[in-house]
Amino acid sequence: MRRLTEVPLIFVSLLLIMSGCGSNNQEISIEPWDILLADLEYAWITMDIYALEICFRDDFMHHLQEEDWDDYNGDGIIDEYWGLEIELEFAELAFAEADSIDFSLSGGESYQWAGDSTGQSIEMPRILTREIYFPSDTTLEVRPVTFICRPDSQGDWYIWQWFEGEEQK
């Protein structure tokens, strides 16, 4: 049985730990768009197509570098970007063939995106590092990308546009 003097010491110790003794009492705020990109990383690392799909909405656009323009949807027109369906097909193919995937986004700046007159969209330039381990090969890509994130009508954040490289239109 604990002595009565031990209980206040335990209580005070817990309060000090929870209050961050020595901290400057500033709240740590995690923005919903930062959580969204953490969800994107998680989806790729765990190779979870359903977790990936909820990072996007139907109006998603993945803008490509000019050297990557091609007819991805087979309609005879060269695509400068692809939508959600092709994004998920690409990921499903990688998930099905890979043993594992390392996916990380570095950089932490976020800005209000000038391309949105409503002021709701956030621009997030990052460096994408994606290493896909296949049974007989490994592919590594490291490149700048920019995500434009915005809330939907229910206030849930999603990746609206993904730009390869550093240019946003």
pLDDT in tens, 120-164: 999 999 999 999 999 999 999 999 999 999 999 998 999 999 998
Average pLDDT of the residues in 9-26: 47
Q: Got the DSSP string for 83-152?
A: -HHHHHHHHHHHHHH-SEEEEEEE----EE-TT-TTS--EEEEEEEEEEEE-SS-EEEEEEEEEEEEEE-
Bigger pLDDT: 36 vs 13: 36
The CATH code of the domain at 29-164 is 3.10.450.50
User: What does pTM read for this prediction?
Assistant: 0.77
pLDDT in tens, 32-74: 888 899 999 999 999 999 999 999 999 999 988 888 888 887 8
Residues in the chain: 169
Number of H helices and number of E strands within the chain?
A: 4, 7
Please tell me the predicted confidence (pLDDT) of residue 1: 43
